[in-house]
Amino acid sequence: MKKIPIYQPSVTELEISYAVDAVKNGWGENCYAYIKRFEKDFAAYTGSSYSLATSSCTGAIHLALAAMGVKAGDEVIMGDINWIASAAPITYLGAKPVFVDVLEDSWCIDPSKIEAAITEKTKVILAVDLYGNLAEMDQIVAIAKKHNLYVLEDAAEALGSVFRGKKAGSWGDIGVFSFHGAKIMTTGEGGMLVTDNAALMERVRILSDHGRDPKVNRTFWMAELGYKYKMSNLQAAMGCAQLERVDELVNKRRDIFNWYTEYLADLPGIVLNPEPSYTINCYWMPTIVFDKALNIEAHEVINYLKEQNIDSRPFFYPLSSLPMFEKAEENKVSYNLYKRALNLPSNFSLTREDIKQVCQAIRTYVNKVLVPVN
Ligand X SMILES: *Cc1c(COP(=O)(O)O)cnc(C)c1O
The yes or no reply on residue 156 touching ligand X (CB under 6 A) is yes
Q: Does 56 bind ligand X (CB under 6 A)?
A: yes
Of the residues 113, 123, 167, 183, which is catalytic?
183
Q: Whose Cβ is closer to ligand X: residue 191's or residue 318's?
A: 191
Which residue, 132 or 345, has its beta carbon nearer to ligand X?
A: 132
Q: Does 184 bind ligand X (CB under 6 A)?
A: no
Q: Out of 128, 201, 249, 328, which residue is the one contacting ligand X (CB under 6 A)?
A: 128
**Which is nearer to ligand X, 74 or 129 (by Cβ)?**
129
Binding test (CB under 6 A) with ligand X, winner from 101, 110, 153, 157: 157
CA neighbor of 166 nearest in space, from 203, 131, 192, 129: 129
Total interface residues for ligand X by CB under 6 A? 13
> Which string of x and - marks every residue 10-49 that binds ligand X (by CB under 6 A)?
----------------------------------------
The yes or no reply on residue 242 touching ligand X (CB under 6 A) is no
CB of 55 to ligand X, least distance (A): 8
For the bound state, the minimum distance from the C-beta of residue 98 to ligand X, rounded and expressed in Å, comes to 17
Exactly one of 110, 154, 173, 275 binds ligand X (CB under 6 A); which one? 154
Q: Is 368 a catalytic residue?
A: no
Stretch that binds ligand X, among 44-52, 79-87, 95-103, 316-324 (CB under 6 A): 79-87
Residue with smaller CB distance to ligand X, 259 or 284: 284
CA dist 229 and 60 (Å) reads 8
79 binds ligand X (CB under 6 A): no
DSSP letters spanning 267-314: -TTEE-----TTEE---SS-EEEE-GGG---HHHHHHHHHHTTB--EE
Of 51-59, 199-207, 249-257, 299-307, the segment contacting ligand X by CB under 6 A is 51-59
Query: Residue 74: CB partners within 8 Å, gap ≥ 6?
Result: 93, 94, 95, 96, 121, 122, 123
In sequence order, the 6+-apart residues with CB closer than 8 A to the CB of 51 are: 39, 40, 42, 43, 192, 193, 194, 195
Minimum Å distance from CB 161 to ligand X?
12
* Residue 275 lies near ligand X (rule: CB under 6 A): no
Measured distance CA(153)–CA(86) in Å, rounded? 10
Query: Alpha carbon of 60 to those of 194, 281, 314: distances in Å?
Result: 9, 23, 26
Strands (E), the chain: 50-54, 75-79, 96-100, 122-128, 150-154, 162-163, 166-167, 174-178, 191-195, 270-271, 279-280, 287-290, 313-314, 341-343
Give the H/E segment covering residue 206.
helix 198-208
Contact flag: residue 191 with ligand X (CB under 6 A)? yes
Give the one residue of 62, 113, 180, 253 binding ligand X; rule: CB under 6 A. Answer: 180
> Max Cα separation, the chain?
82
Give the strand pairing for 122-128 and 341-343: unpaired
Catalytic residue positions?
183
Enumerate binding residues for ligand X (CB under 6 A).
56-58, 83, 85-86, 128, 154, 156-157, 178, 180, 191
